[in-house]
Amino acid sequence: MAAKKKQTAKKKEVKKAPAPRKTVKAKSDPASKQADSASRVKQSFPIVGIGASAGGLEAIEGFFAHTPSDIGIAFVIIQHLAPEHKSIMGSLLKKYTNLKVAEVRDGMKIEPGCVYLNPPNKEVSTMNGRLHLSEPTQARGARLAIDYFFRSLAEAEGDKSICIVLSGAGTDGTLGLKAIKGAGGMAMVQEEIQAKYNNMPRSAIDTGLVDYILPVEKMAAELIKYVKHPYIGGTKKVLKAKEKFEDYLQKIFMLIRSTTGHDFSQYKMNTIRRRIERRMAVHQMNKISEYVAYMKKNPAEVKTLFKDLLITVTNFFRDPEAFKSLNDRVIIPLVKAKPPEAFIRVWVVGCATGEEAYSVAILFSEAMKLLTKRLTLQIFATDIDADAIEHARLGVYPDSIAADVSPERLKAYFVREENAYRVKKQIREMVVFATQNLVKDAPFSKLDLVCCRNVLIYMNTALQKKILPLFHYTLNPGGYLFLGTSETTGEFADLFSAVDLKWKISRRKPTPVSLTAARLPLPLNGSGAEVREEAKRKFEPTSANVRQLAERIILQEFAPPCVLIDEKFDVLYFNGDTDKYLSVPMGEPTFNVLKIAREEIRYKLSTLVHKSLKEKKPVRSEETTIRYNGSVSPVNIVVKPVLDPSIKNEFMMILFETPKGSAEQSGREKHPPDRAVDPRVATLERELQSTKEYLQTTVEELETSNEELKSTNEELQSTNEELQSTNEELETSREELQSTNEELETVNNELRNKVEQLSEANNDLNNLLGCTEIATLFLDNDVKIKRFTPRAAEIFKLIAGDVGRPISDIVHNLLYDDLVGDVEDILKNLGRIEKEVQAKNGNWYLMRILPYRTIENAIDGVVITFVDITSQKRDQQSLQESEEKCSALINQTQAGIVLADVETGLITEGNPAFERLTGRNIKALKTMKMWELRPSEKLEEAKKAFFDAVKKKKGSSTELPFRRPDGQVVDVDCVYSLVVIRDKRYMQTIIREIDKPHKP
Report, as residue numbers or ranges, the catalytic residues. 53, 80, 172
Name the nearest CA neighbour of 82 among 820, 860, 742, 898: 742
* Three-class secondary structure of residue 910 per DSSP: strand
Contacts of residues 513-521 at CB distance under 8 Å and 24 or more positions apart, as own/partner, are: 513/473, 513/589, 516/469, 516/472, 516/473, 517/473, 517/591, 519/469, 520/466, 520/469, 520/470, 520/473, 521/439, 521/466, 521/470
The rounded distance, in Å, linking the Cα atoms of 158 and 184 is 7
Tell me which DSSP letter residue 110 carries.
P
- Length of the chain as a residue count: 1000
**Which residues sit opposite 379 in a β-bridge?**
346, 431
* Contact criterion met (CB below 8 Å) for 74 and 45: yes
Contacts of residues 975-979 at CB distance under 8 Å and 24 or more positions apart, as own/partner, are: 976/945, 976/946, 976/949, 978/902, 978/949, 978/950, 978/953, 978/954, 979/899
Apex 43 CA angle, 40 and 44, nearest 5: 135
The rounded distance, in Å, linking the Cα atoms of 130 and 153 is 11
Which residues make Cβ contacts (< 8 Å) with residue 617, sequence separation at least 6?
641
Apex 2 CA angle, 150 and 192, nearest 5: 50
The rounded distance, in Å, linking the Cα atoms of 912 and 753 is 71
Cβ neighbours of 813 (radius 10 Å): 15
Name the nearest CA neighbour of 560 among 627, 469, 461, 640: 640
Helix (H) or strand (E) holding 735, with range, is: helix 679-739
Pure H helices in 476-627: 513-518, 546-557, 593-596, 599-615
The rounded distance, in Å, linking the Cα atoms of 81 and 124 is 13
* Contact criterion met (CB below 8 Å) for 580 and 563: no
Tell me which DSSP letter residue 587 carries.
S
**Which residues sit opposite 906 in a β-bridge?**
929
Contacts of residues 36-45 at CB distance under 8 Å and 24 or more positions apart, as own/partner, are: 37/158, 40/155, 40/156, 40/158, 41/127, 41/128, 41/129, 41/156, 42/156, 42/157, 42/158, 42/160, 43/74, 43/110, 43/129, 43/157, 43/160, 45/72, 45/73, 45/74, 45/112
Name the nearest CA neighbour of 665 among 628, 698, 691: 628
Residue 862 φ then ψ, to 5°: -135, 160
* Three-class secondary structure of residue 909 per DSSP: strand
The rounded distance, in Å, linking the Cα atoms of 162 and 185 is 6
The rounded distance, in Å, linking the Cα atoms of 181 and 22 is 10
- Burial 487-516, CB ≥16 within 10 A → b, else e: bbbeebeebbeebeeebbbbbbbebeeebb
The rounded distance, in Å, linking the Cα atoms of 950 and 956 is 10
The rounded distance, in Å, linking the Cα atoms of 998 and 983 is 41
State CA 798 to chain mean position distance. 58
* Three-class secondary structure of residue 79 per DSSP: strand
